[in-house]
Amino acid sequence: MIRAWLRPDGRKGIRDAIVVVYLVECAHHVARRIVDKMDDARIQLIGFPGCYPNDYALAMMKALTVHPNVGGVVLMSLGCESFNREALAANAREQGRPVETVVIQQSGGTRGAIDAGLAAVARVQAQADAQAVRVPMARSELVVGTICGGSDGTSGITGNPAVGRAFDTLIDAGATCIFEETGEMIGCEGHMAERAATPAVADALVASVHQAERYYRAMGYGSFAPGNAEGGLSSQEEKSAGAYAKSGSRAIDGVILPAEQAPGPGLYLLDVVPPGDPKFGFPNIVDNAEIGELIACGAHVNLFVTGRGSVVGSAIAPVIKICANPETYRRMEGDMDVDAGRILDGRATLDQVGTEIVDLIEAVAAGAETKSEALGHQEFVLTYKASAPAGPGCLPAAA
């Protein structure tokens, strides 16, 4: 049975992290030293390196610091950066999270700020523990995201469609599922539109993929990398078809943007490509940037499909690695949670692996560690990006 942490907004978390948040790269070292000195997997590091204010970064940080898997917050500020630390702290406090702010320039520099930060983390952790409420959590209350990285010729045959089967099962149970990577689904927009819950959602799906294509063309390259070709993929179209398979077969209920919460159960596309012309560089910096965006949309856990092999995890929300290639699994079993390559070997069917994924999600939600958690992976990336609110046509009509 899943026993979750009940948050003041009614959402439930499957972890109870205390996040130490650096608000500019100048505070990163101090924040990391605090987390290292605490030597506690529950104390996790996230942050934004930029000094110039950015609406996307503020929205992301607001969502992440009140994620249901987060129990408390310590903000690390240099003091002269432009990040709105007061607004971030106020938002966390309003959502019932214990929060403290340490300003390095007011704390005697590096050593003084580390000491102050350690004390702040201890106080926040004690307050979070004192107000913790554990309650049962049903499968229908889960929010699950998916991403693929290090794709090869097996990804679209085993791992991605197995996740699609798992998504179908979860959605039928009333859960919320989020898939993304519009830049890796160019050519699949028509198929997605046919599954849209409403004509407005269909239009939004097509527009999101077309925007990704425009963005890639403006940047001069796409998402098809040399590593994909080395792994046996022949083209962008083949990679797109494989990435699309992660979404399963159920109706697509809406399009959301980073830091937006899905308004209800169902299946949603997360559009991670910035609107308009390129302003801040390549939209998909690393897989962990997109994992962070899925988490900011409320994902309790993320399914990461890989054929070539990836070792990353994430702060805040567990990452379940689904290995599409049986040879990769044999080489990297210590990092992989699910061997979807058994499908190629005839040792399992898509439905069997899909069921295994759902069972593992529930086990992880109940407290079991993923391989990346056991290895201590807590990667996090947040960069500059433009963003704009999604229109009401992107979402289901109110009942």
Residue pair 212/188 in contact by the 8 Å Cβ criterion: no
pLDDT over 70 (residue 332): yes
* pLDDT band for position 115 (cuts 50, 70, 90): very high
Q: What is the pLDDT of residues 28-73, one digit of tens each?
A: 999 999 999 999 999 999 999 999 889 999 999 999 999 999 999 9
Residue from 288, 211, 201 nearest 250 by CA: 201
Q: Could you tell me the CATH superfamily of domain 2-135?
A: Response regulator (3.40.50.2300)
Residue pair 142/170 in contact by the 8 Å Cβ criterion: yes
Q: How far is CA 103 from CA 85, 100, 116, 399, in A?
A: 10, 10, 9, 46
The stretch 349-363 carries a mean pLDDT of 98
Rounded Cα distance between 26 and 90, Å, is 22
The stretch 311-336 carries a mean pLDDT of 97
Read off the DSSP letter of residue 115: H
Listed by start position, the domains of the chain span 2-135, 139-394
* pLDDT band for position 392 (cuts 50, 70, 90): low
pTM value > 0.85: yes
Q: Give burial (CB, 10 Å; 0-12/13-18/19+) of 351.
A: middle
Whole-number pLDDT of residue 313: 97
* Buried b or exposed e, range 156-172, using 16+ CB within 10 angstroms: bbbbbbbbbbbbbbbbe
